[in-house]
Amino acid sequence: MFTDELGQGGKAPDGPDNSANHHRGTGESLIQLITPGGERVSHPQYDAWVRDVSDEQLASLYEDLVVIRRIDTEATALQRQGELGLWPPLLGQEASQIGSARALRDDDFVFSSYRESGVAYCRGVDLPNIIKVWRGNASAGWDPYTVNLATPQIIIGAHTLHATGYAMGIQNDGADSVAITYFGDGATSEGDVNEAMVFAASFQSPVVFFCQNNHWAISEPVRLQSHIRIADRAAGFGIPSIRVDGNDVLAVMAATREALERARHGGGPTFIEAVTYRMGPHTTADDPTRYRDANELEDWAAKDPIARVKGLLDRKGLLTDELEARVAAKADAVARELRAGCVNMPDPKPLDIFKHVYSTPNSWLDRQEDHYSRYLASFGDPAGAPSEEGAR
């Protein structure tokens, strides 16, 4: 029923022992509804939050997991082929992203970090727009208000302040939507995240702090990041926390639904620590073999988020050839659309960089644009001319 097998990692050869059992703090157990072997285990509190999930919906969650892994694989390949400048892989974190994003309402608003491409997929962002920024074609891939998802934040933790501010706005409007913000284990050490939690707690704002503890902040292990469990940091702010198996899509969905309902009904913020693992590099520019042990990868491969849902579907007699074929066809179609959208994306014109900086004219920016325009013209190169949309 409860398991602590997904702790924060064992004793590092030369670091402090921060394995789950040695963490100081309230130490609530990890919530799990599907074991790594694909067995559905009951939970007295969290079963109720996913009781309505039908066999069909379980199959659809499986499809989402497979599709976003495929998006990730395809984008990684596109980067290796020189079509993208950089890509931050989400491999291993699929259940954290799908389980939480599928718990949201359309009118909830998401503030994410750079690794949440699975969340962007769930919010309905057009596939090529997910990779537009990583191709260097735009500063932002989509209009946040069309999908209620802010464009991803690279500055670690800065967007958690935006989420709290947005949630305070929801309160002023008297609405019952919720802001949710995604960030990493490393981000919890940033001042911005701490300030966002102070304000959210003080004003009991409807915001969910969704932390994907993937055990690494680039090359810094979480055991160095925090000497207590990440979820236990929330207690210092008076924010209730949930520590959930982040590789278990149902458990993540249950935890997120609980947090969202609390926020919707005036119960204030909740902190969710989804305990998961970054199976790939930090980004395609990183080589994790330089700082982490292959055994750790093996341990986590055995807790794969897709394999366990597949196992559960199998136990329930739902893993039919028809389902497998449908999911594979969907993943293929998505990969094709992503690739075609990427390689056929029109290049931006150099002067396009001045677009969308301000919504109203700005003399300081206009001067820069004029200067840059004359600089480009000095090469006699018409490439500097603004694209059809105009310079701004």
Stretch that binds ligand TPP, among 79-87, 141-149, 214-222, 318-326 (CB under 6 A): 214-222
* Alpha carbon distance 230, 243 (integer Å): 9
- For 333-370, b/e burial (b = at least 16 CB within 10 A) is ebbeebbebbeebeebbbbbebbeeeeeeeeeeeeebe
Q: Does 184 bind Mg ion (CB under 5 A)?
A: yes
- For 303-312, b/e burial (b = at least 16 CB within 10 A) is bbbbbbbbbb
Q: Does 278 bind ligand TPP (CB under 6 A)?
A: yes
Based on the residue annotation, tell me whether 262 is a catalytic residue of this protein: no
| DSSP string for 88-120 | ---TT-HHHHHHHHTT--TTSEEE-BTT-HHHH
Q: Does 18 bind Mg ion (CB under 5 A)?
A: no
Residue tagged active-site, from 23, 282, 308, 392: 282
Q: Does 223 bind ligand TPP (CB under 6 A)?
A: no
Q: Does 245 bind Mg ion (CB under 5 A)?
A: no
Q: Does 36 bind ligand TPP (CB under 6 A)?
A: no
Based on the residue annotation, tell me whether 278 is a catalytic residue of this protein: yes
Q: Which residue in the set 1, 154, 377, 385 belongs to the binding site for ligand TPP (CB under 6 A)? A: 154
CB of residue 155 to ligand TPP, shortest distance in Å: 5
Q: Does 156 bind ligand TPP (CB under 6 A)?
A: yes
Q: Which of 89, 99, 101, 92 is nearest to 34 (CA)?
A: 99
CA 339 to chain centre: 21
Q: Which residue in the set 1, 48, 155, 328 belongs to the binding site for ligand TPP (CB under 6 A)? A: 155
Q: Does 111 bind ligand TPP (CB under 6 A)?
A: no
Q: What share of the chain is helix, strand, coil (3-state, %, to 5)?
A: 45, 10, 40
Residue 156 binds which entry of ligand TPP, Mg ion, none, CB below 5-8 Å type-dependent: ligand TPP
**Which residue minimizes CB distance to ligand TPP?**
184
Stretch that binds Mg ion, among 37-45, 186-194, 305-313, 364-372 (CB under 5 A): 186-194
Alpha-carbon distances, residue 280 vs 106, 153, 230, 285, 331 (angstroms): 30, 20, 21, 11, 20
Q: Which residue in the set 187, 259, 334, 335 belongs to the binding site for ligand TPP (CB under 6 A)? A: 187
Catalytic residue positions?
A: 278, 282, 291
